[in-house]
Amino acid sequence: MEQAHIDIEEIRNFTNGLSYPLYFLDFETIGPAVPKYNGSRPYQQLVFQYSLHIQETSTSELEHREYLADPSQDPRIGFIEQLIQDCGNSGDIIVYNIGFERGKLNDLIDVFPEYSNELRGIVNRLKDLMIPFQQKWYYTPEMRGSYSIKYVLPALVPELSYNDLDIKEGGTASNTFLSMVNETFEGDAQKTRRQLLEYCELDTYAMVKILEKLLQV
């Protein structure tokens, strides 16, 4: 029988090392087979959407910001400009699986060097919420040996679920937006944009709730 394992000391080290305000950030990307925008390669993952939950102090109300590109133009400039504004200048930016967001930000720095100082500032503030689970500092059998957020979330916060959403995972979000870009989308665009925003918002809200559990250890 698998045992739950919670390493209180390591988790406290992790949570005590966080500096407020905290920003919980998640990107969505598309990877068009045929490059559509300047400086992009076939199948390169390009950002088109983010969700950001902000917590000024440990007791303050959550704020939410979001960006979803206009499919008729290069999604990246609006994304960069709003992200820089929304992320402020101080506090940790929490992501789940740092390699992904860091890689996308570095891609943006390469193509848009005029924003490199601000984007580098964001990269330097990233903290990875996956670490306590990847390192097995917090492990329960419900995670089924995985540290993917799709397993960690139901194990820690069973009341939060993607099942009620029309868009339940990143692949669907990506394909949906790509069809809008390619003008092959059929359906209610406004409604679908709302569904994309709801999906991405749950990704960052999930991180807020996961951190809450770690802070209670």
> Per residue in 119-167, pLDDT tens?
999 999 999 999 999 999 999 999 999 999 989 999 999 999 888 899 9
Asked if 148 and 100 touch (Cβ cutoff 8 Å), the reply is no
Please give the model's pTM, rounded to 2 decimal places.
Answer: 0.96
Report percent pLDDT > 90 for the chain. 94
Mean pLDDT, rounded, for 25-36: 95
Cα separation, 112 vs 106, in Å, equals 10
pLDDT at 159: 92
* Strand 93-95 versus strand 126-128 pairing type: parallel
Structure tokens at 171: 């692949």
The CATH number given to 5-215 is 3.30.420.10
pLDDT at 38: 87
pLDDT at 139: 96
Cα separation, 137 vs 112, in Å, equals 38
> Per residue in 65-116, pLDDT tens?
999 999 999 999 999 999 999 999 999 999 999 999 999 999 999 999 999 9
Helix (DSSP H) and strand (DSSP E) numbers for the chain: 8, 7
Domain ranges of the chain: 5-215
Asked if 48 and 30 touch (Cβ cutoff 8 Å), the reply is yes
Between the CA of residue 195 and those of 55, 96, 162, 174, 202, what are the distances in Å? 24, 21, 12, 12, 11
Cα separation, 83 vs 29, in Å, equals 15
